[in-house]
Amino acid sequence: MAHSSKKKKTRRKGKACPRGLLSVHRSGFGFVSTAEGDFFIHSNCMNGAFDGDLVELEPLPGRHDNEPRPNKRPQDKPCAKVVRVIDRANDTLIGTYEESEPIAVVVPEDPRIPHDIFIVGEEGPDVPDGAMVRVRILEFPTQSTPATGVVEEVLGTADDPSLGIEVIIGRHKLETRFCEASLEEAAAATLDAEGALAEGYVDLRDRFTFTIDPADARDFDDALSVELVEEPDGTVLTRLGVHIADVGHYVPWGSSIDLEARRRATSTYLVDRVIPMLPPALSNELCSLQLGEDRRCMTVDLFLDDRGNLVRYEPYLALMRSQVRLDYEEVQAILDGEAEAAPELAKRLRRGSELAKQLAARRRQAGAIDFVSVDAKMLLDEDGHPVGIDLRSKTDATEMVEQAMVLANEVVARHLADRDWPGIFRVHGQPSSDACVALVPVFQEFPWFIENLAVGLVNGDPHAFQGVLAMSAGRPEHELVSSLSLRAMQRAVYKPQNEGHYGMGLDAYCHFTSPIRRYPDLAVHRMLRAQLMGKPPYFDQEVTSLPWLAEHSSDMERVADKAERESQDLKMVEYLEDSVGEAFSAIISGVSYHGLHVRLENTAEGFVPIRTLGAEYFAFDPARYTLTGEDTGRSYRLGQRIAVVLVATDRRSRSLEFELA
């Protein structure tokens, strides 16, 4: 028996401890997903670990339920404690500098970090009491010692209206300054039109081209041209020209500008500013297709028949000059007959819009899934305070530009893939079978959900997703159907190999049309240029780097998206601060054990805590996305419209709290 016991103990000792990334809730507890399953981590068991850290766990006896009364649910997560931090997610954080002689501390802005950082030494910038700062952590906290650090940067003071945005920039480590070398390279760049023609660029300066952008656009990296051309056999085709700024000419591989652009990987469009990927001398000048200015571009001419079928295409380098600058509202007014335009311009716009409708119909036929959404843009005054909300929906004008860009992206991707040429592709995988199967029992509650749709969903058929969106359109459950379908989708990523784009119904796709603001587009431009004009000296080195560049660009895209959402949320909260006590119509956009996530018609999102729903026990059904009262039978479901009252706003957490009206 002793021998057996000893062997058992040895096996236990040698067993690997679970490992995973720690996700901390703002209430202090956390969860870690591991290969052995999910574990609950009590706030007292963090052992100095922060949100996002890679940690090693020791499972504890029993299971834990973190729900507040009166809505306790069955205990479900096994408990564990952090025994070791394997890798830290961050070595800096943002917080408020507080002096308390003889020491100073930084109180983290992130409520998920419960440890103050004690400031050591006297090096660093002068810091006023109460300022928001970035601190570099020298020693992380343990059970017996506090965290220590040094102040690296003062972001602003409490009376600075842009402080909240500066905090977001600091938290996500967005680079806001360019090094001197890249600024000097950008300043030294010249157009050299004659040199471009000598290099083989095609002269398109007499072609009628125009730009269509939002009225508040800050850069112009694409232009269109639309005209009828007669083929040698007498066939008349529409030549849709997509002209994209030739950023690759000004940003060669390995240059200082290129190295900085690689790190950023994308421009970040915050609510009150743009943090560009390229220096302004390029993004706002030489690489911006400004009205009446000669510009180098990469052109793809798309030749389509009268039904919108692509007959052939021609990619090449060109010298162009935009002749008309338009915004979406102007174009829509012309298309609607509500505004006058020169006959030639109006004719081209109408043909472009007709083409867009034909292309969109063909994409739907191929399986493209179109989720209708409304974008909100906060309107700010000169001091950065929100004064209104501009809701933007898809129009014929936006569709015309979108379909032209999608077709150009598809054609370039096919061009590279068909030649087995390297590139960075935009890849969107089919949703997992588990995600698709989970939709069926929810949708089966609706009378229009027929067996063919169920079979299609289970098989991941994009036409089935088209079907449920179309069948639910105009019905109360459409929000539910749309939300769940969208959640089932995978996130699109960049990869160095072509794997198709499920959501667009395409077997080849890349990003080619925005090299000013996305590094993958710039990489594709370089690859296409090399295929058309010959390989440059560093071609092989860049090709070797494509896997890393694709992964890094995917990561930085997520960072930029999150920062953009946070900046929008911040100004939305600020805008609604004077509306506390007002009632709103809302859609339930999420359901959890904790309560209801809601979205207002102005797109603001907030939360209705479960404690405000009533004293009765509310059971959460994760399969049906419902909360149901045990005593009254009242049920709240994803997609349901309810009336709510705004009860609190919090700029620090960028959150809105509601109660039922």
Q: Which two tokens stand for residue 475?
A: 């019905």
What is the per-residue pLDDT for 399? 96
What is the per-residue pLDDT for 507? 96
Asked whether residue 165 is assigned to any structural domain, the reply reads no
Asked whether residue 262 is assigned to any structural domain, the reply reads yes
- Residue 459 and residue 559 in one domain: no
- Residue 437 and residue 418 in one domain: no
CA distances from 283 to 182, 220, 274, 462, 552 (A): 13, 8, 11, 38, 21
Q: 357's torsion region: left (phi>0), alpha (psi -120 to 50) or beta?
A: alpha
Q: Which amino acid is at 163?
A: L
Residue for token digits 């408020």? 96
Q: Which pairing describes strands 236-245 and 294-304: parallel, antiparallel, or unpaired?
A: antiparallel
- Residue 190 and residue 244 in one domain: yes
- Cβ-count burial 44-83 (b if 16+ within 10 Å, e if not): ebbbbbbbebbbbbeebeeebebbeeebeeeeebbbbbbe
What is the per-residue pLDDT for 50? 92
d(CA 286, CA 295): 7
* Contact yes or no for 196/316 (Cβ under 8 A): no
> What CATH number corresponds to the domain at position 109?
2.40.50.700
Q: Which pairing describes strands 310-321 and 294-304: parallel, antiparallel, or unpaired?
A: antiparallel
Give the residue from 160, 190, 205 where a domain finishes: 160
- Residue 479 and residue 627 in one domain: no
* Contact yes or no for 238/315 (Cβ under 8 A): no
- Residue 336 and residue 397 in one domain: yes
Asked whether residue 554 is assigned to any structural domain, the reply reads yes
Asked whether residue 168 is assigned to any structural domain, the reply reads no
Q: What is the pTM of this model?
A: 0.88
What is the per-residue pLDDT for 646? 98
CA distances from 304 to 206, 301, 307, 314, 531 (A): 22, 10, 8, 12, 24
Asked whether residue 309 is assigned to any structural domain, the reply reads yes
H helix intervals, 96-155 = none
Q: Which amino acid is at 65?
A: D
What is the per-residue pLDDT for 256? 96
- Residue 147 and residue 243 in one domain: no
Asked whether residue 172 is assigned to any structural domain, the reply reads no
What is the per-residue pLDDT for 76? 66
Domain of 593 in residue numbering reads as 580-660
Asked whether residue 116 is assigned to any structural domain, the reply reads yes
Neighbouring residues of 437: CB distance < 8 A, sequence distance ≥ 6: 457, 458
* Contact yes or no for 270/165 (Cβ under 8 A): yes
d(CA 137, CA 105): 12
- Total domain count for the chain? 5
- Which 8-state DSSP code applies to residue 284? I
What is the per-residue pLDDT for 653? 85
- Residue 458 and residue 555 in one domain: no
Angle between helices 343-366 and 396-418 (to 10 degrees): 60
- Residue 100 and residue 215 in one domain: no
- Residue 476 and residue 339 in one domain: no
Give the residue from 70, 87, 104 where a domain finishes: 87
> What CATH number corresponds to the domain at position 6?
2.40.50.690
Asked whether residue 362 is assigned to any structural domain, the reply reads yes
- Residue 53 and residue 101 in one domain: no
What is the per-residue pLDDT for 120? 87
> What CATH number corresponds to the domain at position 597?
2.40.50.140
Tell me how many degrees the CA angle 445-447-450 measures, rounded to the nearest 5: 95
- Residue 224 and residue 345 in one domain: yes
Q: For the chain, which ranges sit under pLDDT 70? A: 1-15, 62-76, 122-124
Give the residue from 38, 55, 87 where a domain finishes: 87
293-319 pLDDT, tens digit per residue, is: 999 999 999 999 999 999 999 999 999
Q: Which of 186, 378, 347, 340 is nearest to 278 (CA)?
A: 186
- Residue 210 and residue 352 in one domain: yes
What is the per-residue pLDDT for 553? 97
Rounded to the nearest angstrom, the gap between the alpha carbon of residue 259 and the centroid of all alpha carbons in its chain is 23
What is the per-residue pLDDT for 72? 42
Across 122-231, where does the E strand assignment appear? 132-139, 147-156, 202-203, 210-213, 222-230
